[in-house]
Amino acid sequence: MKILVTVKRVVDYNVKVRVKDDNSGVETANVKMSMNPFCEIAVEEAVRLKEKGVATEIVVASIGPAQSQETLRTALALGADRAILVKTEENVEPLGVAKLLKEVIGKESPELVIMGKQSIDGDNNQSGQMLAALLDWPQGTFASEVNIADGKAAVTREVDGGLETVALNLPAVVTTDLRLNEPRFASLPNIMKAKRKPLEETTPADLGVDIAARTTTLKVEAPAQRQAGIKVETVAELVEKLKNEAKVI
């Protein structure tokens, strides 16, 4: 079985982002970038499926600027077999992402697509669901367990009240939650090997997809800042303040 995994290059999750002075967005120049954490989990899951003998080939795809090659090389070092970069300098919305991926999937015909449940920059949590809709495939979102057998995927999903299991006919789209697995680190020999693995480049125009944005970001602001309050010395003082000053208990 062939698996397609998608990865996105985002501002590293440890970075405290700064809103630009002109309110046009968030400062990304000279900021540490890395693979979106949910995408790392997606790559890891695909690699584990290959190690179990379920998957035969892992293709990793990314949409973004030339630097996204680094993110793809990271995925190759983790165990993906080859990579596809849809190169664009535009900021592509989830609808555009889903349309581009649909074309890539049309060429590659994977039986399973694994994506992160959301990117930690846009926080949209949409692309996987939208891709599944465009393909008319079933979806298993927020997965914390995936079992593949007999042309079906049993996906345990993290929902608000607990867990839910759905059975999906393959081909299907699965999006990963944090608890699906613990991603491995790439070893130096694997990083060296990854440099020789194939990385193919294409563009939205080559794929014939219009990625014109449907939404306009008018303004990006810093959220209202909370100020540090006071330190109390004892539990009695804390309870007194909560009762009489804040009046919340």
Partner 1 sequence: MAILVIAEHNNETLGASTLSTLAAAAKIGGDVHVLVAGSNSQAVAEAASACSSVSKVLHAEHADLAHPTAESLAAIVVANAEGYSHILASASTFGKNFTPRVGAKLDVQPISDIVSVESEDTFKRPIYAGNAIATVQSSDSVKVITVRGTAFDAVEASGGSAEIAAIDAAAHIFDKSKFESQELTKSERPELTAAKVIISGGRGMGSGENFQMIEEIADKLGAAVGASRAAVDAGFVPNDYQVGQTGKIVAPELYIAVGISGAIQHLAGMKDSKVIVAINKDEEAPIFQIADYGLVADLFKVLPELKDAL
In the complex, minimum distance from the CB of residue 98 to partner 1, in angstroms, rounded to a whole number: 6
Q: Nearest approach, Cβ of 52 to partner 1 (angstroms)?
A: 21
The gap from C-alpha 44 to its chain's centroid, in whole angstroms, comes to: 12
- For residues 6 and 80, which CB has a smaller minimum distance to partner 1 in the complex? 6
249 binding partner 1? (CB under 8 A)? yes
Q: Between helices 94-108 and 127-135, what is the axis angle to 10°? A: 50
Alpha-carbon torsion 38, 130, 157, 163, what sign? positive
Q: Is 208 in the site for partner 1 (CB under 8 A)?
A: no
Per CB under 8 A, does 180 bind partner 1? no
Q: Which is nearer to partner 1, 58 or 126 (CB)?
A: 126
* Sign of the four-CA dihedral 41, 72, 30, 95: negative
Pick 4 or 77: Cβ nearer partner 1: 4
Supply the minimum distance, in Å, between the C-beta of residue 212 and partner 1.
10
Pairing of strands 152-159, 162-169: antiparallel
Binding positions for partner 1, 104-143, rule CB under 8 A? 118, 120-134, 137-142
| Alpha-carbon separation of residue 87 from 79, 92, 97, 200 (angstroms) | 22, 11, 12, 10
State the DSSP H helix or E strand holding residue 154, giving kind and residue range, or none if neither. strand 152-159
CB of 241 to partner 1, least distance (A): 6
17 φ/ψ angles, rounded to the nearest 5 degrees: -75, 155
Minimum distance from residue 29 beta carbon to partner 1 (Å): 15
164 binds partner 1 (CB under 8 A): yes
Q: Which position among 52, 160, 189, 196 is part of the footprint of partner 1 (CB under 8 A)?
A: 160
Q: In terms of CB distance, is 64 or 79 closer to partner 1?
A: 64
Residues 6 or more apart in contact with residue 58 via CB below 8 angstroms: 2, 3, 4, 5, 43, 46, 47, 50, 79, 80, 81
* C-alpha pair distances (Å), 11 with each of 66, 113, 177: 15, 24, 19
Residues 7-66 interacting with partner 1 (rule: CB under 8 A): 11, 13, 16-17, 19, 26
Give min distance, CB of 192 to partner 1, in A. Answer: 32
Ranges within 220-239 binding partner 1 (CB under 8 A):
220-223, 226, 228-236, 238-239
Q: Is 244 in the site for partner 1 (CB under 8 A)?
A: no
Our CB check for partner 1 shows the closer of 88 and 127 to be 127
- The helix (run of H) or strand (run of E) holding residue 166 is strand 162-169
Question: From the list 77, 172, 180, 194, which residue makes contact with partner 1 (rule: CB under 8 A)?
Answer: 172
Tokens of 194: 């990854």
* Contact with partner 1 (CB under 8 A) among 54, 178, 191, 207: 178
